[in-house]
Chain A
Amino acid sequence: MARIFTAKVVTANALIEGDVIYLTADDQWSRDLTQGELITDEAHAQLRLLKAQSQVATIVGAYLADVKPGDNGPEPTHFREDFRRTGPSNYAHGKQEAEANV
């Protein structure tokens, strides 16, 4: 029996900084998961992934990550994606540092 498709975002790492990034609906890359395009159609997900993977001079290691819809956009469903979203838990580095400097 075919597996039921669940919501996804296209995620990757930025080529120069290595930061975790998300593909937005308007073909930009955002550091903020809530701005990522919530994809609910499997065929569309594959097309978006192919588009991401073609950007070899911009990003690294694109893949489809499981998410669920939240009040402010996509939210992670697994703790690994939650850590990728927030940064390490022992220091306020990465995303948390960026937020602290806003």
Chain B
Amino acid sequence: MYKYNDFDTAFVTERNAQFRAQVARRIDGSLTEDEFKPLRLMNGLYLQLHAYMLRVAVPYGSLNSAQMTQLALLAEKWDKGYGHFTTRQNIQFNWPKLSDVPDMLDALAEVGMHAIQTSGNTIRNVTSDHFAGAAADEIEDPRPVAELIRQWSTDHPEFQFMGRKFKIAVGAAAEDRAVLKAHDLAVRIVQNPAGETGYQILIGGGLGRTPMIGQVINDFLPRADLLPYIESVVSVWNQIGRRDNKYKARIKITVHEHGIDDIRARVKARFALIRPSFTGADQELLSEIKAHFAAPNFRSGSTAAYGAAYNADPVFRAWADTNLAEHRNEAHAIVTISIKKHGATPGDASADQMRAMADLAAEYGYDELRISHQQNVILPHVHKSDLPALHARLKQHDLATANIGLISDIIACPGMDYCALATARAIPVAQQIATRFDALKLEHDIGHLQIKISGCINACGHHHIAHIGILGLDRAGVENYQITLGGDATWTANIGERAGPGFAYDEIVPAVERIVEAYLDLRSNAEETFLETYRRVGLSPFKSALYPEAQKKVA
């Protein structure tokens, strides 16, 4: 875990004091809302449909137990007893009062947390692989690089008022668990044929109204060139990116309009200019940061208790099969805690649950937790012998749902239940789908299947890159849901195909059921996943299942 040094602490303290004064001036009327809005957004404070919303940064999704416990305190003391984990690995509080926000920020600072750059037209909170530092398939822990980028980008004078927001993700594993190709800029830690470690840089990915997959701008960047190169990319985009239309003000549009080769040439020219000003201090800083992310002193010892429980307890076995992932230390496992009990709001955790997860991390998990972009919580390092006891404790807090990667492990944005931008609800659709397939007892038979739901075209629910994507829209004053199929969020990323006309609110769950029934009929065997089947047979048979009336008319 990165720990704030004196500079970090002083910076956050000063920033909080500034914001406290700004809030006071807003409340006494000396600042208008137009004057105050950019200031509150710089500190993660939105005004949503029913209340303010404070978005707190969880850098690269990493937390320790003290930080999670403090989030529980915020939920209880200043909100309604819960928090909402987001697809950007952050947490949102949906009901703070404006006058309480300065106190909330001070409470966060006590545990080395803040809400800076979780909003506004700036470089946003850097995201990463939620299995970072634990995964068996990673080259190295990507978090030190993510932290370096965070420190470089925080309050960077050139990038505080850009045309639009800019999202950066870092990954270092064979499997992409950070949706790298859907980011404005992605850093992939790679090794070249000579065995040297460096960075592949992708730019121009993003979802929203014009979804695009990122393209490689640099196949292998030496380590010392990382920050000047990223700075060159953001600087070029800041200079030539569209500002005439906010919907065209993302780097994906700039890359699309200029072409990747033109952008690469511009970045190269900019890089040549600014590279000499990077004296090597950034690499010294990276070394210091790396020391904070040293792996825990992993326990050895027998894992027999795990094997015994696995063989004896089918409930534990079902949970282990879905919620555990391979750890780089074979005596350990990565545990994904589902906070998506069937029918629950995806991503929501109560203060009690947050506290329980913090306690379990302290007791069994070397004091580490992660937030996934899939809106679950990870204990990255758990000795296998502790898994039966951990599972029993999770059950006590409704945290032992065995559904990771299954149909009820749905990503859903807050939608019109909370978000001022939304055009339809997302949460109740997710709740109904999860409940329906739980009742059908088909979930484990269906296997790996990602449903992602957005309540508007901005695509916070990542629907474009879902196996089954659902987009809620306003059609003539009623909620209407469009379905896309075959999206993919991994290295083989692609945008799903729109299936056809949308469905009314009360038709969307049966429509999803027809897609899943079609898949079960079409798959070549029980091991063929939904995405594999879709790629083999294409859209047509699913379309026939979705729109049976249209097929009858054709006949």
Contacts and interface: CB of A to CB of B under 8 A. Distances in A.
A20 interface: yes
B98 interface: yes
A90 B261 CA distance: 48
A17 B51 contact: yes
A7 interface: no
Contacts of B218: none
A84 B478 contact: no
Interface majority SS (helix, strand, loop, mixed), chain A: loop
A90 B33 CA distance: 30
A93 B96 CA distance: 13
Contact of B417 (A15, A19, A88): A88
Given A89-B427, A90-B427, A16 B416 contact: no
A91 B81 CA distance: 12
A56 B33 contact: yes
A57 B24 CA distance: 11
A18 interface: yes
A83 B455 CA distance: 14
A87 B50 contact: yes
Contacts of A3: none
B479 A79 contact: yes
B27 interface: yes
Give the contact-size bracket for chain A: 20 to 34
A20 B51 CA distance: 8
Contact of B95 (A13, A60, A93): A93
Contact of A57 (B27, B80, B97, B427): B27
A17 B97 contact: yes
A59 B544 CA distance: 51
Interface string B488-522: 00000000000000000000000000000000000
Interface in A86-102: 87-91, 93-95, 97
27 contacts: A13-B51, A16-B97, A17-B51, A18-B47, A18-B50, A18-B52, A18-B98, A19-B50, A20-B49, A56-B32, A57-B27, A57-B28, A60-B47, A61-B33, A79-B478, A80-B416, A80-B474, A83-B49, A83-B416, A83-B425, A84-B50, A89-B425, A90-B427, A90-B428, A91-B345, A93-B95, A94-B51
Interface of A: 13, 15-20, 56-57, 60-61, 77-80, 83-84, 87-91, 93-95, 97
Interface of B: 26-29, 32-33, 47-52, 80, 94-95, 97-99, 345, 416-418, 423, 425, 427-428, 431, 474, 477-479
